[in-house]
A and B are shown apart, each in its own frame.
Chain A
C-alpha cells in the first residue's frame, strides 16, 4: 500500500507514496502561496527521495505540478488576486521566452548557466531577506 510500482519503458520502479504525497503536498502549498510552478523542488523530491531516474522525472514532474498550477490559478482568481491587464502583458512575454530560450540554450554551457543562476538567486535572496 505504501509503495506504488510503476513501469517506464520496460523498467520497473518502486515509489514510496507516503514520502511522495506529503512532499508534493507541501511543495504545492508553498508554490501556490508564492506564485511559482515548483518544478525545481519536485525534481529533487522525485529523484533523491523517491529514487526515480531523471528521465522518468522530467515529464512526470511537469504533469504533477500542472495539477497544482491549475488549482492555484482558479483559487487565486476566485480570491481576486488577478489583474487581467498585467496578465495580458506578461503572458505573451512568457510564450516568446519559451521559443527563444531553446535557441540560445544550444550555444550555452548548461553548467555555466547553473553557476550564474546560483549566484543570481543568492544575491536576489539576500536582498529579499533585507541583507542589502
Chain B
C-alpha cells in the first residue's frame, strides 16, 4: 500500500529529472546558436567603418578622395597624417589661474610632418568661427567643438620633453631644467599647442569635407598641397573612441629637383631657395650687410619652414663668407686684432644665449620682432646716405686708400 505512492513519487522524480535534463540538452545548442547570431540585431558593439581611396600614390601632392561606409546616423571624422616626423615647441608664458607665469618649454620631435582631420561639411561654420579668431585660435577647442578630437590619435603619442626655463638657465645657454615626464593626458594637451604653433592655421589642421549620407556612406576629400612631405600618408576614419576603420595608406612621390627636407619638414624644389638666396645674398653684399637680414624673413614668409630651422641654417651659411672676408682683410693688415677679439668675446657670450631664445618665441613674434629690426636697419642705411655721413666717409675712404697703397708697397718690399 505504501510502496505504490513511493514508487510513483520516485518515478515522477525520475521523470522530472530527465525532463529537466532533456530540456537542458535542448537548450544548449539554442544558446550556442544565439551566441553566433548575436551581432546581427540588436548590436552590442558598433560596426567599424570601412574606407577606400581613389588612388594609391600622388605626385608631389594632389587631392585624395576617400569613400566609405559607417553605421547610419553616426558622424565620421577622418585623420590624415604623414609618417615623417618633425619637431615643434611650445613656450607657455601665459599667466595661469593664480596669475603665475609658468615659463615652461615643451618640445616634441615626434609630430607628423603633415596633419589634417576631416570633419563633416556641416562643421564649416564652426571652422569659419575659429578662422575669424585669428592667430589666437585654440586648436583644442576647435577639435572639441567639431568632434575632431575623436580622431586626434597620431600626435602626442611619442616622447615629449618639458623644461622649466629661467633667466639663469638662459644665461647658461640651456633650455632650463628638464621636468619629469608628462602623463598621457598632459602630453596630448601640450601636443595640441605644439601642433598649433607648428601648423598655425585652422585650414591646415582641419577641413570640413566629409559628406555623409543618411545611410551612413560618406565621401571626403583631402588636399595634399605641393611642397608637402613625401612617403606615406595614413588615413583612418573614426566614429567613436573605440570604433575606427583599418588605416589606408597613400604614397606621395616627389622627384628631383624637389626633395624632402627632413628637419624643415617640407619638400622644396631646390632651385627655388638656391635662386632666392643667390639674389638676396648678392644684394646683401652690395648694400654692405650680409644676406641674413633679408633671407631669414623671406624664407619664413615663403616656405612652411619653422623659424628656428631657418635661423639655425642661415647662420652657418654666413660663417664662411665672414671667414673669407677676415682672410682678405688680414692679408692687407686691415684688422685690429685687439679690438676685434675683445668685442668678439662679448659677442661670443651673446651668441651663447640667443639660440636658446629662438625656440621660445612663436613664428608671429619672430616675424614682428624681425620687422622692427629691419626698420632700425633701414634707418641706419638711410643715415649712410645723408650728406654729413657721405662727407665723413669720403675723407675716411681717402685715408683708407692711402693705407692700402702703403700696405701693398710693404708687401712688395718684403717679396
Interface residues of A (CB under 8 A from B): 4, 6-9, 15, 17, 20-22, 24-42, 44, 46, 52-56, 58-73, 75-77, 79-87, 89-98, 100-102, 104-105, 108, 110-111, 113-118, 120-122, 124-130
Contacts and interface: CB of A to CB of B under 8 A. Distances in A.
Nearest to A69: B319
B378 interface: yes
Contact of B282 (A37, A54, A56, A101): A101
Given A75-B352, A97-B282, 9 more contacts: A8-B336, A9-B403, A20-B339, A26-B350, A61-B343, A72-B355, A83-B305, A125-B371, A128-B370
22 contacts: A28-B347, A28-B351, A32-B355, A46-B339, A52-B339, A58-B334, A64-B340, A76-B312, A85-B264, A86-B305, A90-B277, A97-B281, A97-B285, A98-B321, A104-B282, A105-B285, A111-B390, A121-B294, A121-B374, A124-B297, A125-B375, A128-B374
Interface in B340-380: 340-359, 366-378, 380
A11 B256 CA distance: 57
Interface string B247-278: 00000000000010111100010100111111
A115 B261 CA distance: 36
A61 B325 CA distance: 11
B317 A91 contact: yes
A79 B355 contact: yes
B277 A40 contact: no
A74 to B, nearest CB: 9
B375 A122 contact: yes
A3 to B, nearest CB: 12
Contact of B350 (A28, A105, A125): A28
Contacts of B22: none
Contacts of B287: 113-114, 116-117
Q: How large is the interface on B (under 10, 10 to 19, 20 to 34, 35 or more residues)?
A: 35 or more
A63 to B, nearest CB: 3
Interface in B264-308: 264, 268, 270, 273-298, 301, 305, 308
A75 B351 contact: yes
A30 B289 contact: no
Given A82-B313, A82-B316, A70 B351 contact: yes
A85 B259 contact: yes
A46 B339 CA distance: 10
B346 to A, nearest CB: 4
Which 5 A/B pairs are nearest by Cβ-Cβ distance?
A28-B350, A81-B312, A35-B311, A32-B354, A36-B292
A24 B350 contact: yes
Contacts of B366: 34
Nearest to B277: A93
A69 B346 contact: no
Nearest to B334: A59
A60 B340 contact: yes
B58 interface: no
Interface stretch (B37-45, B94-102, B110-118, B381-389): B381-389
Given A59-B326, A111-B390, A79 B344 contact: no
Given A9-B403, A35-B292, A90-B277, A80 B354 contact: no
A114 B289 CA distance: 10
